[in-house]
Amino acid sequence: MAMTIVLLSMSFVCQAQMPAAPFDVMEISHTLKDYTSWKKAFDADETFRKASGLEFIVVGRSVENPNNVTVVLQAGDLAKAKAFAANPRLKDVMEKNGVISKPDISYFKVIRMNPDSKEKSWVVVTHKVKDFDAWLKVFDKEGTAARASQGLIDVLVSRSIDDPSIVHLVFDIKDMAKAKASLFSEEKKKLMMGAGVVGPPKFEFFNQGE
């Protein structure tokens, strides 16, 4: 089903011109004092990100708490991206610009992407699987048309770079009521279990940050 993540009109997909899959992304999630002031500072720091091979894709704001944000960046060079994350400068910039939580930084390889994504709300679904290929067969058997009838438009399939058993999915939301009814249904739970999903999935709902 669905980073973050996040990637991508996020809808997770494209504010920027995206390459064809596969490609790598870096997701940074944290909590802010104030979104507007943070976003101005974030935009002003673009040069530093680009020097590390990072291109902005989208920022998602949590539906439950809009000051919880996930930033999605295309990582042209994974080693440079990880060096960027480890650089003390990043911590200093975040603190200066109102980040009030420890950032959660993840890396994913996007293996499928819908370039026609255009919705302003989306859901990220993250879970572990016993066997990715077996899980993918069940996912494909359910099919994009069935998910569309549930208010969910396929945007992205990705896997954690650090743990490939973690699957990270993104769906545009056409109908929030239908989407939630489907995602939290017993039928979906049984489908996931039958596909080899390990443990409870994580669902995160976002609106596109302007």
Host domain of residue 133:
23-208
- The CATH number covering residue 67 comes to 3.30.70.100
Determine, yes or no, domain membership for 133. yes
- The number of domains in the chain is 1
Determine, yes or no, domain membership for 9. no
Determine, yes or no, domain membership for 35. yes
Average pLDDT per 10 consecutive residues for the chain, totaling 210 residues = 37 49 95 97 95 96 97 97 96 96 97 90 98 98 98 97 98 97 98 97 96
Determine, yes or no, domain membership for 38. yes
Give this prediction's pTM.
Answer: 0.89
Q: DSSP letters of 66-119?
A: TTEEEEEEEES-HHHHHHHHH-HHHHHHHHHTTB-S--EEEEEEEEEE-TT---
pLDDT of residue 15: 41
Determine, yes or no, domain membership for 44. yes
What residues does 68 pair with on adjacent strands? 31
- Per-residue pLDDT tens over the stretch 135-194: 999 999 999 999 999 999 999 999 999 999 999 999 999 999 999 999 999 999 999 999
